[in-house]
Structure 1
């Protein structure tokens, strides 16, 4: 079969063996595969990613010297079953799957390991247990976005965002746009989006952002109505205490404790760092409102620094988000099917296998495209 492989940073269309499903596996005929921002990073920084993966117990992450079929965002139709499967779906049934597969006792990351070829190919192997049917009426272009939207779903859950919170999304690339979509789908009333690129700001508006700013012109932290200085933070407490102590005999400390349990008091923004470049975390810690929760979703491949004393003084919560669980993946698919979320603004192009290398180059420019999909059976790219 035809597939796109990467070796030493070079992408090329090659002929590779048709994969045969093993125990508990099925083979999909790939309908669409999404090009992920992490694929762009890993293409040139595979060894750094592999080193980190090895430190957390996964020694088989792809390296530059390997020849790998990438592609971990995908949808396809059931083509063949391996031994031991329950054969839950008929041949031709559209499905999506989490990009993990078991070979014996080992679990591998589909599209990110030489041991688990991905979906920049005509066919891909998946685990039957991790596969889910695509509800009727869901276009393959949208089904293929289940995986990146599940990443956003998990990030939003990591932020513990309430509807009344102010959410600030820094960086409106594909993952930032996905976070915006998920925030609005979950009912968050005020979403501020910030990006230097005009095209991405347009896409942020299309995805539902309530306020969109060019940080070169306007600060995303302006006019949020949240605490931005230490005197303001202390003054809030002093003013409340002054009012309470005017009431004779009132156990003010009990009132304050009860109010704290109910969530009263200054709250910051919930900030999503979706850039993944050195210096962004420090900039957010410095300028975000006091008591903000910062969820780092962007993948920074270089060492970075920030000032812990600034984060401490402002009581900033710093959290990191990486993946999702199977329930979040399933819930995301249902949000798409029920039209609670409309990810069509993310889709900016479709290419065949011959167009993958050019699509990688276009996405690296970051000025026009958000999500480019791969149709392995498409002969002419567009």
Structure 2
């Protein structure tokens, strides 16, 4: 079969051995594979990522000098079944796959390890236990969005966002757009999207953002500044003024406890999704966000970064970092797409064949042209269309 190999940051089409399924595994004909922002990072910075993973006792992450077939966002049709595979995975069944697979007795991330070739190929191996039949005849162009939508669903879940919250999304690349899609689907009352790219801001509006901001001209926090507390004098005045009133009431401590249990005893802030992932973003959020903001860091910043803990402490900023998703979130994302509960159609801006993967990577460098490009191994397109 043919696949796209990455070595020394160069992407090229090569001949590869046809995969053979082990017990409990499937071989899929790849129908579509999305190009993820993580793939763009890994192409150039895989050695840094491999170093981080090595500190976590995983030593088989891709490196620049180890040819790797990337692609972890894929949907395929069952071509071959290994021993012990359940009957639901009959030949031709379309499945979306949680991208982990067993190889040689160990588990590896599909498309991010040279030992587990990914979806930039005509065929790919999948674990039956991590494969989910595509429901309702959902088209491959949409089913392939399950993985990035699961990432965003996990981020929104970790943010514990309610309909009454104000959500601010910084960065409207594919992950930021996917987060906006979920916030819209959940009926969040105010969704603010921030991106310097006019094209990305237009996509954010299509995904349902209520307020769209160019951060080079306006702070994304300005639109909701009257709702939240931003100044230390105001907080101290609130504390003294509230206690002046409460201490006049017999049993004031019981009222305080009731208010505290209801989350009304202290100021609340917005939920901020940091989806940019460049140095300085976390410090920017800590410095500029209102007090008591809940910050979900989704963007992957390569290399080191710094922020001021004293500022975060004085504002009681809640920082949460997210990675991937659970198998249930993956399944739920697939079914939400199939049931029409979430609309992610704005994310896809182009498709290429295997011969066009390198050109797609170049095209994704321009935010005005593309957000999410899909790979269709059956296509002859060499430029994103």
Q: TM-score, normalised by structure 2?
A: 0.97
Displacement of 1:57 after TM fit?
2.1
Tell me the equivalent position of 1:240: 242
Tell me the equivalent position of 1:59: 59
Displacement of 1:104 after TM fit?
4.2
Displacement of 1:137 after TM fit?
2.8
Displacement of 1:245 after TM fit?
2.9
The residue correspondences of 1:185-224 to structure 2 (distance < 5 A) are 185-224=185-224
Tell me the equivalent position of 1:123: 123
Equivalent residues of 2:35, 2:73 under 8 A apart? yes
Cα distance change on mapping 1:104 and 1:85 into 2, 3 Å: farther
Distance in 1, Cα, partners of 2:129 & 2:248: 64
- String of CA shifts for 1:49-107, please: whole Å, max 9, x gaps: 00101111211100001111100001011110112222322211111110000124300
Equivalent residues of 1:241, 1:252 under 8 A apart? no
Tell me the equivalent position of 1:10: 10
- String of CA shifts for 1:240-274, please: whole Å, max 9, x gaps: 22222334xx1112211210111113101110110
Displacement of 1:331 after TM fit?
0.7
Distance in 2, Cα, partners of 1:236 & 1:87: 64
Tell me the equivalent position of 1:285: 286
- String of CA shifts for 1:329-366, please: whole Å, max 9, x gaps: 01111111111111000010011111100000111222
Equivalent residues of 1:73, 1:145 under 8 A apart? yes
Tell me the equivalent position of 1:371: 372
Distance in 1, Cα, partners of 2:322 & 2:105: 27
Equivalent residues of 1:73, 1:148 under 8 A apart? yes
Give the CA RMSD over aligned residues.
Answer: 1.1
For structure 2, which runs of at least 5 residues remain unmatched after alignment? Answer: none
Distance in 2, Cα, partners of 1:266 & 1:184: 25
Equivalent residues of 2:363, 2:370 under 8 A apart? yes
The residue correspondences of 1:1-382 to structure 2 (distance < 5 A) are 1-224=1-224, 225-247=227-249, 250-264=250-264, 265-381=266-382, 382=385
Distance in 2, Cα, partners of 1:63 & 1:127: 24
